[in-house]
Structure 1
Amino acid sequence: MLDSSARLLRLLAILQTRTEWTGPELAQRLDVTVRTLRRDMAEEVAERVPPTAGLVEAVDRRSCLLSAGADTLGFLALHLALLGPEFTVLEPAELADELGVLAGRLDRARSRSGSQRPE
């Protein structure tokens, strides 16, 4: 995965090759594509994910596949967590590590917040 400045330079070069790109197309070109299996109906996920931010495909009546991209795995981890339903990361494996970092940070914040409440 490229660092942010290298990804920005690559993005500028890519944008010069065509006049229109979708979010998923750019994410794939920049190697920041994420695929997750959502435990929710495709229509409900699609309402929360604009077409420029990700592609939602129905798998069956109760689940869908979300392909999305962003500048960093940290942002993707946060975005996926905020979408609501349970999910499974299919790729990249590094996103699961980033979710662990986010979960740890949130748990530490919760623990500190509960112990420092004013009386």
Structure 2
Amino acid sequence: MISKDKTSSIEEPEFALGYKLFIKLSDGTSLPTKWFKESVIIINKFLSSIYNKVISLTKNTDVLPNDYYVTFKIQKEAGASTQLVDAQDFIKFKAEYSKLTARKSDIEIYVTIIQSFVS
């Protein structure tokens, strides 16, 4: 399947992506890590998928995309993670993911919730 990202004039193929999702709540606690595998084409659909997973795993429908930020890094990689916000970040994300095949590492996606919610 081929799709066209509005921010890019180049058509890109869909690719299968496996990743670990970490969610850190605003009180500093973390939910157990969850493994996901899905097909990805463009950043907007991927971030929408992440949003749906955040709602499902936190069981909090009040969480909005502006209430958290998303970053990624390769498993066991030293240093800070890279923010995943727009098409430019997604290019880097896909390049890092392609390196994983040879290294047999996982990509980790971190959702850090910055807004606290009263249940």
Relative to the length of structure 2, the TM-score reads 0.25
State which structure, 1 or 2, has the greater radius of gyration over its C-alpha atoms: 1
Task: Report which of the two has the higher share of helix.
Answer: 1
The answer to which structure, 1 or 2, has the higher relative contact order (CA under 8 A, 6+ apart) is 2
Task: Report which of the two has the higher share of strand.
Answer: 2
Relative to the length of structure 1, the TM-score reads 0.25
